[in-house]
């Protein structure tokens, strides 16, 4: 395992110094007949207050748990009804997303290039910390079996798995930040296009931006990942196709690849089975 870069050592150090100060309040509106939902508020680096949905099945635990790492979108959804039957679930609203948007309300498009020329000030730094904090919170809940936590998401699932201890398994779909600096110019859909827009407007910052994107490339931490990882990739021609998934998988000690069929029902069942098996193993 490589030494952790000073940038990430500092993030972890900042996070360790920041008390979590979690509050957990019942959220009756989003509870079900078989699971209690809670509104969680907790602190992350820069003394930023975050919101998360936490649901746990009724009855004796501890339960296996799923952390929904934050994605690149403004809205974070309540954990799904069916999932909440079996798992404790935490859906994290990282800084900038709705419900965690004070004082920072991210723009979409916009978040990806916000202060990107300075990794120390980029919101991505705090967002990574927010997801590590989510793992810490989940691990500490009495309803949760800390040895059976699965992280589901994209880039932030990779970061959390690399930087937070104790995660059993991770499902990572279509990471955006992997190799983004060299990949962006080949993709003209958002959010990749944000990088193209930015470099067109500020061509003199290209080197700085690429250096920053390298710091925020989770694949650079991949040899630190001890968990089983399922890389969920798209069909040929998508930006994270099997070829790119294989490249990433070679850098992660225990990675497997699932190429989605395009038939969402079958894909969902396959991934649910993988998670169940990973937790049972």
Partner 1 sequence: MRGRRKSRIIGPVTGPHPSTHGTAVHRPADFEAFWDETLAILASSPVDVHFEHDRLRSTPEVDVYDVHYTSYQNVRIAAWYCRPAGARGALPAIIHVPGYVSEPAIPKGSARDGFAALSLAPRGKLRSHGQFNPGYPGLLTENIVDHRTYGYRGFYCDAIRAMDVIFTRPEIDPGRVAVAGSSQGGALALLVAAMRPETRCAVVGAPYLTGMIDAIALTHSYPYQEINDYLRQFPERRESAARTLAYYDLINFAPRIVCPVLINIGLRDDVCPPETGYAVFDALRCPKELHPYEDCAHDAGGQWHGAVSRAFLSRHLRGPT
Binding site for partner 1 (CB under 8 A): 28-30, 73-75, 77-78, 80-82, 98-99, 105, 107-109, 188-190, 193, 196-198, 200-201, 235, 261-268
Residue number with CB closer to partner 1 (20 or 27) = 27
Residue number with CB closer to partner 1 (10 or 193) = 193
Question: How near is the Cβ of 105 to partner 1 at its closest, in Å?
Answer: 8
Question: How near is the Cβ of 85 to partner 1 at its closest, in Å?
Answer: 10
Residue number with CB closer to partner 1 (84 or 228) = 84
Question: How near is the Cβ of 122 to partner 1 at its closest, in Å?
Answer: 18
Question: How near is the Cβ of 225 to partner 1 at its closest, in Å?
Answer: 28
Bridging pattern class, strands 169-173 and 228-233: parallel
Provide the token pair at 101. Answer: 């948007």
Residue number with CB closer to partner 1 (155 or 194) = 194
């Amino acid at each position: 395992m490589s030494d952790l870069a000073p940038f990430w050592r500092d993030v972890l150090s900042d996070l360790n110094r920041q008390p979590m100060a979690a509050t957990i309040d019942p959220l009756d509106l989003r509870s079900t007949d078989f699971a209690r939902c809670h509104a969680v508020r907790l602190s992350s680096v820069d003394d930023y207050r975050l919101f998360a949905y936490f649901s746990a099945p009724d009855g004796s635990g501890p339960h296996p748990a799923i952390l929904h790492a934050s994605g690149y979108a403004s809205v974070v959804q309540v954990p799904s009804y069916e999932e909440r039957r079996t798992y404790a679930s935490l859906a994290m609203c990282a800084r900038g997303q709705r419900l965690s948007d004070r004082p920072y309300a991210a723009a979409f498009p916009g978040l990806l290039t916000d202060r990107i020329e300075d990794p120390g000030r980029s919101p991505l730094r705090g967002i990574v910390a927010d997801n590590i904090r989510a793992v810490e919170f989940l691990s500490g809940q009495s309803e949760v079996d800390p040895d059976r936590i699965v992280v589901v998401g994209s880039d932030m699932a990779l970061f959390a798995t690399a930087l937070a201890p104790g995660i059993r398994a991770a499902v990572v779909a279509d990471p955006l930040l992997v190799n983004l600096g060299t990949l962006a110019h080949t993709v003209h859909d958002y959010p990749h296009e944000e990088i193209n827009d930015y470099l067109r407007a500020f061509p003199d910052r290209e080197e700085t931006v690429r250096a920053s994107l390298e710091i925020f490339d989770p694949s650079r931490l991949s040899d630190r990942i001890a968990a089983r990882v399922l890389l969920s990739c798209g069909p040929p021609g998508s930006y994270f196709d099997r070829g790119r998934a294989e490249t990433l998988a070679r850098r992660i000690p225990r990675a497997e690849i699932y190429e989605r069929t395009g038939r969402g029902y079958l894909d969902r069942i396959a991934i649910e089975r993988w998670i169940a098996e990973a937790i049972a193993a």
